[in-house]
Amino acid sequence: MEKLVIEGGLPLKGTVEISGSKNSALPILAATLLTEDECVIRNVPRLRDTLTMIKLLKSLGKTVDFTDNVLKVSQKGKLNHVADYSLVSTMRGSFCVLGPLVAKLKKAKVSLPGGCVIGVRPVDLHLKGLKALGTKMDIDGGYIHARAAQLKGRHVYLGGVFGSSVLATANVMMAAVLAQGETVIDSAACEPEIEDLTDFLIGMGAKIKGKGGPRLVITGVKKLKGIKHSVIPDRIEAGTYIILAAATRSNLSIKGADLTHLAALTDKLEEAGVKVFEENKILKVKTKKTIKPVSVTTYPYPGFPTDLQAQFMAMMALCQGVSVITDKVYPDRFIHIAELNRMGANIRREGVNAIVQGVKTLRGAPVMASDLRASAALVIAGVAAKGKTEIHRIYHLERGYENLDAKLSAIGAKVWREKE
């Protein structure tokens, strides 16, 4: 096992190139289960999570070649209907093979999912949606046992306690494209990653109306074909580097990002005094020495992303004044507070709120990564801090940030790995 060591306080400058979206690639890879034809998917990030999904696809009977961020998926024999615990338990995104397997094979045995420890994230909306389409399910031994003689289109409402669910929307969509008749999904997730999946399915021959909106109307078809597709850029990775620029008071260029996916973040940054604008298809981040504290509340897209909450908190920890950060999506996603406080931050939690009293300086310290985005927050804090920071359990970072060390080094950060 390795740790990430950061010598902080150095000026940053240059250009960061954004990789393909992890949260888009995972359901798209699952959707390849819906056809026997070859699918070619470009701009797939090489991450621990995408490699886990590739292993899962292979275990289900797919042949996969992954070269230079281009992934080719084909099938020679029959699909296996069992998604094993050893793979699904390590990554929540792999649970979205359930819908495609039920749609294609009329049966599935899928382990209940794992992933980051950021509070309770039930799969009830996934099961509700698939049951509405005619799937019968039992839970036994940590597995969902699903079967359906024939999926049939119906009206499905996917609103949950904390809003819509991206993965549940993906699962139900992928089942509905091969169901008989028309399926209407209300309170569907509107994230760009769902739009990307919708484009992928339409390219395969699916009939879907309402892309990008909270109501999707899907008319089932009998068969889907192979497709060539390019994954959208990772808006969370882009947001992380934009926040890094602001936290370190640096001017950076971000290549390959889509500014339209980042409106909630750039709005808050503008309020804080940070300018983010597009010039010749490259995002420019202009930061002053002093930025203002601002308060944010996370909501499903197009609201402020919960996946940028921890990073934004690290930035606010270095803004003079008080800010309040509220997470309405995952209210327990505050494990990083204690680690940021180890570095000299002054943050306290009150229910679903984090009260951040800005400090002048953070100082390097040994810290522990608890989940993917908390890890990114600790990297931001470490690069901005004075002295040396050691981040342990960096396998979390490898789940969602491609070539992190190299990208940070290219813009002037002093970062290296050491054996634990």
Q: Which amino acid is at 410?
A: A
Name the class of domain 2-19+233-419: alpha beta
Q: Within 258-384, where are the H helices?
A: 263-272, 309-316, 336-342, 372-384
Q: What are the sequence ranges of the domains in the chain?
A: 2-19+233-419, 22-230
Look up residue 83 and give its two tokens.
């998604």
Q: Render each residue's pLDDT in the chain as its tens digit; 420 residues.
A: 899 999 999 999 999 999 999 999 999 999 999 999 999 999 999 999 999 999 999 999 999 999 999 999 999 999 999 998 888 888 888 999 999 999 999 999 999 885 444 344 578 899 999 999 999 999 898 899 999 999 999 999 999 887 889 999 999 999 999 999 999 999 999 999 999 999 999 999 999 999 999 999 999 999 999 999 999 999 999 999 999 999 999 999 999 999 999 999 999 999 999 999 999 999 999 999 999 999 999 999 999 999 999 999 999 999 999 999 999 888 888 999 999 999 999 999 999 999 999 999 999 999 999 899 999 999 999 999 999 999 999 999 999 999 999 999 999 999 999 999
On whether the CB atoms of residues 91 and 49 are closer than 8 A, the answer is: yes
pLDDT at res. 119: 43
Measured in degrees and rounded to the nearest 5, phi and psi for residue 210 equal: 95, 20
| Nearest residue to 4 (alpha-carbon basis) of 400, 388, 339, 340 | 388
In angstroms, rounded to a whole number, what is the distance separating the alpha carbons of residues 264 and 243? 13
Other Cβ atoms closer than 10 A to 281:
9
Residue of 96, 116, 190, 319 marked catalytic = 116
Look up residue 82 and give its two tokens.
């069992």
Listing DSSP states for 64-98 in one string gives EEEETTEEEEEESSPPP-EE-HHHHTT-GGGGGGH
Rounded to the nearest 10°, the torsion over CA 118, 123, 124, 127 is 170
Q: What's the chain's length in residues?
A: 420
Look up residue 336 and give its two tokens.
């990083």
In angstroms, rounded to a whole number, what is the distance separating the alpha carbons of residues 202 and 213? 15
Going 160 to 165 to 171 to 172, the CA torsion angle's sign is positive
On whether the CB atoms of residues 11 and 413 are closer than 8 A, the answer is: no
The domains spanning 2-19+233-419 and 22-230 adopt the same CATH topology? yes
- What b/e sequence results for 170-194 when a residue is b if at least 16 CB atoms lie within 10 Å of its CB, and e otherwise? bbbbbbbbbbeebbbbebbbbbbbb
3-state secondary structure of 34: helix
Other Cβ atoms closer than 10 A to 138:
9
Token pair 């984090």 in the structure block, residue: 354
On whether the CB atoms of residues 142 and 82 are closer than 8 A, the answer is: no
Partner residues linked to 390 by β-bridges? 5, 366
**300 cis-preceded (ω within 30 degrees of 0):** no
| Nearest residue to 261 (alpha-carbon basis) of 233, 297, 300 | 233
In angstroms, rounded to a whole number, what is the distance separating the alpha carbons of residues 28 and 101? 14
In angstroms, rounded to a whole number, what is the distance separating the alpha carbons of residues 273 and 270? 5
Look up residue 161 and give its two tokens.
């306690």
22-230, CATH topology level: UDP-n-acetylglucosamine1-carboxyvinyl-transferase; Chain (3.65.10)
pLDDT at res. 162: 76
pLDDT at res. 118: 38
96 is catalytic: no
On whether the CB atoms of residues 63 and 75 are closer than 8 A, the answer is: yes
Strand order in the sheet with 143-147: 82-83, 107-111, 143-147, 136-140
